Amino acid sequence: MTASQMAAFIGTTGFIRDNGLSYGVRIVDVRPHYGAMQFLVQPIAGIGERWVNETTIISDNG
């Protein structure tokens, strides 16, 4: 994946399901990681950030 393709994800939103919770996140950075992508996400309501694998994000674009 090219840098411009990865950059297209920045600013998009989705959901993460974690231990029975589902919460909205915004992607603030993207990086390649062992042949896959990781997203740096921040909660839409709340504070903090963490890197997650691309398969962790559930798109809210349908």
Quickly state the pLDDT bin for 61 (edges 50, 70, 90): low
Give exposure, 38-62, as e/b (b: 16+ Cβ within 10 Å). Answer: bbbbeeeeeeeeeebeeebbeeeee
pTM, 2 dp? 0.84
Tell me the per-residue pLDDT of 13-48, one tens digit each, with 9 for 90 and over: 999 988 888 999 999 999 988 888 899 999 999 999
What pLDDT is stored for residue 47 in this prediction?
Answer: 95
Residue 49 has pLDDT above 90, yes or no: yes
Domain boundaries, the chain: 3-59
Residue 60 has pLDDT above 80, yes or no: no
CATH of domain 3-59: 2.30.30.140
How far does Cα 56 stand from its chain's mean position?
8
